[in-house]
Chains A and B, each alone.
Chain A
Amino acid sequence: MRYLFVLTILILPRLALSQDWEDEQLFGPENPGQTLRIISSTDTSFFEPIISGFLQANPRIAINYFVTSTAQIDATIRRDPAAFDVVISSAMDLQFKLVNDGYAMKLDDINHPDWAQWRRSLFGFTTEPAAIVLNRQAFSNHTIPQTRQELIQAMRARPEIFRNRLGTYDVRESGLGYLFATQDARTSETFWRLMEVMGSLGLNLYCCSGDMIDDLIAGKILVAYNVLGSYAAARKDDDKILEIILPADFPTTMMRSGFASSHTMLPETAEAFMRYLVNVQVETNNRSGFPLPPLNPVKDIESRSTISLSPALMTYLDALKKKNFLQEWENAVLQ
């Protein structure tokens, strides 16, 4: 990577004027032939190895990588579809609806398992379960709960310990949080009981996994519900503090997904990037240096734990359904 260098951009591009990015970086040579614009909800650190690998194979290309929330991605693409060439998001439902609404280009040459792609346009490239992440200090002399039910019992047993020290996504802001919450609610009533218990104890709401994990490590909160396990696992140095639990009753697993914009000016490059991304992520061996979890080679159809790419994802995006769900959620959480 001698010839590559990373530029943290100080100049403000056109879009930066109107939008606050969580992060924005330019990778690649100084005078690139093309600059591929990627909008993503994935932290740059997770994506950098993939970008570097792609640029190594395509030295004439530069990549401008923008990070923002899933809801922002959806809004941005709907407003200006031509502004970005590749769209990466963890909110499967929003991604699905964008593709359904015709914002994605068909990439017929990418070979991908059927269950992990939709219309040869939207490609799932990670398998990531939603986890309960605990601060071990809180459970030093207690059994660590393995299911939602056990978590409810643990919180009920020691309410004074957990009061105002619980965290989860603010589903009104986080697309991924909303996806996890709706899938949980669809699967089991336990979700609502958990929300009620957590709400009654006082729940801190977060926009993003990162902030939640930061607060967990700092000890501000003791339990984080529905965090991306991959983000927690990435904090290996804080291994002793954090306990990552994949709920044994029912795991909710999502796929990070990406598509090439149908309005892209660089269709070949966008397709090449998508192909590279998918190929890297399907490769399960030798993943050192790639912090992003791979796509499980076989879908666990039996347990239906992985959220399917199907039109049903649009259900909770319906305005009426969303209004209802948020109402119910607020009733449970904000007491």
Chain B
Amino acid sequence: MTETVHIRGSLRNQLAITLVGGAALLAVLIFIIVRSYAAQIAQQGQDDILGASVTSILDAAVIRNGAIEIDFPYASFSMLNTESDDRVFYAIYQDDKLLSGYPNLPRASVSTGMESDFRTELFDATAIRLATASRVLIGAKLRTNITVSVAQTQDALSGTLNRISRNVGLFGTGFFLLTTLLSVWVTSTTITPLRRLTNSVTRRGPQDLSPVVRHVPAEMAPLVSSLNNLMARLDQSLKQSEDFIAEAAHRVRTPLATVRSHAEATLHRVEREDNRKALRAMMRAIDESSRAAGQLLDHAMITFRADHLELHKLNLVDVVSDLVTRLSPIAEMKHIELHLHGDMSVVVYGDPILLQNAFRNIIDNALKYAPSESGINIFVHAKPRPTVEIQDQGTGFPPNKMSELVARFSRGENAKDTIGSGLGLTIAQDVATAHKGTLTLSNLQRSGACVTFSF
């Protein structure tokens, strides 16, 4: 019973994609943030040095004899030495007049007393970082404003940034890979209980409708409880069906038996030949109906019982000999003898009611087709597999239709004048299947049919 399952998406994929996507997003975010932060810090570093250089030049400015003198230290420029040999430019202004340095250097206007001004400009077709600060000098007759700009190219800075970018890029990639591994692990861990539940449900026998007792994560509790609920209801309704069938069997069989006994009683009293003939026909029809109803109900009962197979340890020989005892009167009426052969004890695990039913149907069949004054041999063996073999001395199965005989309501061509519903072998077959056994039909070399029920 495979129903089409409509699938949309996959929890595992969804989880994995979410986690990996999140990791990728985080890695990119980390890269951008760390890089921009590093850029800020690196720029801050350069600004600090440029600022210190500017300050050291400004601090050296004095008015001597009414003239500006700026004897700035060697360190003012030597501190600007970088790994990448960045170019250095500077300009010193008194008010708006260039005192010394590079005349074309971009000018940043800063008001005195303010913080140093830092900006990135273009000079000589190169990006430069320009620091500017200003200071007022007050002499005897002079009040003047000294502005100093020091600029530097950004080769070392971009070198540092490239290095940082590379490292942060590596770090981000590593983070991403690690997170990806982690998400694969997390995904599979999360999915595992679901898969376990699936396995345990799939592995159940077709009749196992017991609730799931294994521990499941909290998130799966509603699913499992619904499943348990559903199975409980299913079990309930199956039991009801069984009860209904038992009830129906009882209700149909009892009136039929009553009608038959009445008909039989009437037969004894009726003298006229044509009336007796009619009554016999009637009894025959009742027998057929009764038998058919019985078999139908047997079959229905077996179908449901097979779904709830209750295995008991039992001796096959006991089951069969019990049957033989019960069927012997009927056989004697037909002048047929039942012979039981084989081992004394053949232990199997099975449902005794089902097995009895199956063997009874097979023997019934044999009784029907066996000629009078013949014998039916029943063999019970333990080895190689527990087997019950029933052989009659009738006409045997029609060889070309043997596989169809076990189908529901199918009867052999030679059964025209024999009472039967065609369910007997089907029942036996179903019981064999429920016990994971086989039912084999064959014909004996001399005349006769052979049915082999093996576990």
* The one of B69, B87, B100, B101 that contacts A119, using a Cβ cutoff of 8 Å: B87
* CB neighbours of B100 from chain A (8 A): 318-321
* The one of A102, A313, A315, A318 that contacts B124, using a Cβ cutoff of 8 Å: A102
Nearest CB of B to A315, in Å: 5
Q: Please report the C-alpha to C-alpha distance between residue A54 and residue B451 in the assembled complex, in whole angstroms.
A: 113
Q: Please report the C-alpha to C-alpha distance between residue A319 and residue B102 in the assembled complex, in whole angstroms.
A: 11
Tally of A-B residue pairs with Cβ under 8 A? Answer: 58
Q: Please report the C-alpha to C-alpha distance between residue A314 and residue B92 in the assembled complex, in whole angstroms.
A: 14
* CB neighbours of A120 from chain B (8 A): 85
Contact A320/B69 with A100-B88, A118-B85, A314-B88 known, Cβ cut-off 8 Å: yes
Q: Which of A282-335 contact B (CB under 8 A)?
A: 308-315, 318-321, 324
Tally chain A residues at the interface, Cβ within 8 Å. Answer: 20
Contact A312/B71 with A100-B88, A119-B87, A320-B92 known, Cβ cut-off 8 Å: no
* CB neighbours of B344 from chain A (8 A): none
Say yes or no: B81 contacts A312, CB within 8 Å: yes
* CB neighbours of B89 from chain A (8 A): 100
Contact A312/B85 with A102-B124, A320-B70, A324-B69 known, Cβ cut-off 8 Å: no
Say yes or no: B72 contacts A321, CB within 8 Å: yes
B80 at the interface (CB under 8 A from A): yes
Q: Which of B88-142 contact A (CB under 8 A)?
A: 88-90, 92, 99-101, 124
Q: Please report the C-alpha to C-alpha distance between residue A320 and residue B63 in the assembled complex, in whole angstroms.
A: 13
Nearest CB of B to A277, in Å: 20
Instruction: Point out which of A119, A308, A312, A324 has the most chain B C-beta atoms below 10 A from its C-beta.
Output: A312
Say yes or no: B75 contacts A312, CB within 8 Å: yes
B77 at the interface (CB under 8 A from A): yes
* CB neighbours of B372 from chain A (8 A): none
B78 at the interface (CB under 8 A from A): yes
Say yes or no: B71 contacts A321, CB within 8 Å: yes
Nearest CB of A to B289, in Å: 110
Nearest CB of A to B122, in Å: 13
Say yes or no: B72 contacts A315, CB within 8 Å: yes
* CB neighbours of B81 from chain A (8 A): 308, 310-312
A158 at the interface (CB under 8 A from B): no
* The one of B77, B92, B124 that contacts A310, using a Cβ cutoff of 8 Å: B77
* CB neighbours of A321 from chain B (8 A): 70-72, 100
* CB neighbours of A308 from chain B (8 A): 78, 81
* The one of A102, A186, A311, A319 that contacts B88, using a Cβ cutoff of 8 Å: A311
Say yes or no: A318 contacts B72, CB within 8 Å: yes
Say yes or no: B78 contacts A312, CB within 8 Å: yes
- Residues of B participating in the A interface, judged by any CB pair closer than 8 Å: 68-78, 80-81, 85, 87-90, 92, 99-101, 124
- A120-B85, A308-B78 known; 9 new pairs, CB 8 Å cut-off, are A100-B87, A102-B124, A311-B81, A312-B78, A313-B77, A315-B72, A315-B74, A320-B70, A320-B71
- Residues of A participating in the B interface, judged by any CB pair closer than 8 Å: 100-102, 118-120, 186, 308-315, 318-321, 324
The 10 closest A-B pairs by CB, nearest first: A312-B78, A319-B100, A311-B88, A119-B85, A310-B81, A311-B77, A312-B77, A311-B80, A320-B70, A320-B100
A sample of 20 inter-chain contacts (CB < 8 A) reads: A308-B78, A309-B85, A310-B77, A310-B81, A311-B78, A311-B81, A312-B76, A312-B78, A313-B77, A314-B77, A315-B73, A315-B76, A315-B77, A318-B101, A319-B100, A320-B68, A320-B70, A320-B100, A321-B71, A324-B69
